[in-house]
Amino acid sequence: MNVLAVDVGGSHVKCLASGQPVPRAFVSGPALTAAAMVRGVLALARDWRYDGVAIGYPGPVMHGAPVREPYNLGAGWVGFDYAAAFGRPVKVINDAAMQALGSYQGGRMLFLGLGTGLGSALIVDGALEAMELAHLPYRKGRSYEDYVGERGLERLGKKKWRKAVFEVVESLRVAFAPDYVVLGGGNARKLKPKMLPDDVRLGDNANAFLGGFRLWNEPGAARPGEPTSGAGRPAPAAGARAERRPGRRP
């Protein structure tokens, strides 16, 4: 099955279809609506063939649909008919969860997406848990996102921002006890591998597309909530479970 994976971010919308070598993108921003996103993606993907669409959405998703308007984009995302707009079956998942799914290599993994905001997801033995940690209070009346998101980078500068990232990682690592932490998102490139503890890894934005493909159960890839055996290899299962409600521990 050919899949079009769409990664919706606060600064860009990126897309890639199965078998294509290079993603395509356009600028998003605070005025971008769901309808405008679909028009932009259809224009970029007009010469690609795909049977289904996977969308990484920058906000909470329940039962395959956004349940809150995004903080960094325009309105009109909740209640929008994505399948009708694309003319294809569509699966919607939280954007951090989609990149986490593409980054997963087995065990218990905490994913933190360092971009315009802060994305977060936890995968435990193949069961995917999308989380909404970004706007929880952290320090001095500010949220986690205020420290490690784009606004935090601009306010603190790169050196202090890096220190804040490592402090947040340590705080959340104590809370969730993962086997390893993956730092993804566009600003993860501002960190260098030699700076990281042994159990913290840098992700790759391309993993968001892999996660989108995995949503449609490509051979050799785990689906959200599906048990795995070994380092990310799927074990036989009757079917995938739905992405769990943000904020609930597995």
Q: Among 91-100, 195-204, 215-224, whose mean pLDDT is lowest?
A: 215-224
- State yes or no: pLDDT of 250 exceeds 90: no
What pLDDT does 218 receive? 46
Burial class, 181, CB count within 10 angstroms (exposed 0-12 / middle 13-18 / buried 19+): buried
The token pair that represents 225 in the structure block: 């909530």
Decide if 9 contacts 186 (C-beta within 8 A). yes
- The half-sphere exposure of 42 on its side-chain side, counting CA atoms within 13 A, is 13
The CA–CA distances, whole Å, from 30 to 36, 52, 72, 102 equal 12, 27, 5, 27
pLDDT tens-digit series, residues 79-128 = 999 999 999 999 999 999 999 999 999 999 999 999 888 999 999 998 99
What pLDDT does 238 receive? 26
Name the DSSP letter for residue 11: S
CA distance 83 to 85: 5
Tell me the mean pLDDT in the region 45-68: 95
Residue 104's nearest CA partner among 21, 203, 190, 219 is: 203
Residue 197's nearest CA partner among 181, 209, 213 is: 181
CA distance 114 to 188: 6
Q: Among 41-45, 46-50, 234-238, whose mean pLDDT is lowest?
A: 234-238
The CA–CA distances, whole Å, from 77 to 84, 96, 133, 134 equal 14, 17, 21, 19
Which residues on neighbouring strands pair with residue 228, listed in sequence order?
234
pLDDT tens-digit series, residues 157-198 = 999 999 999 999 999 999 999 999 999 988 999 998 888 988
Residue 201 — very low, low, confident or very high, per pLDDT cuts 50/70/90?
very high
What global pTM score does this model have? 0.81
What pLDDT does 186 receive? 87
Helix (H, G, I), strand (E, B) or coil at 209: helix
- State yes or no: pLDDT of 219 exceeds 80: no
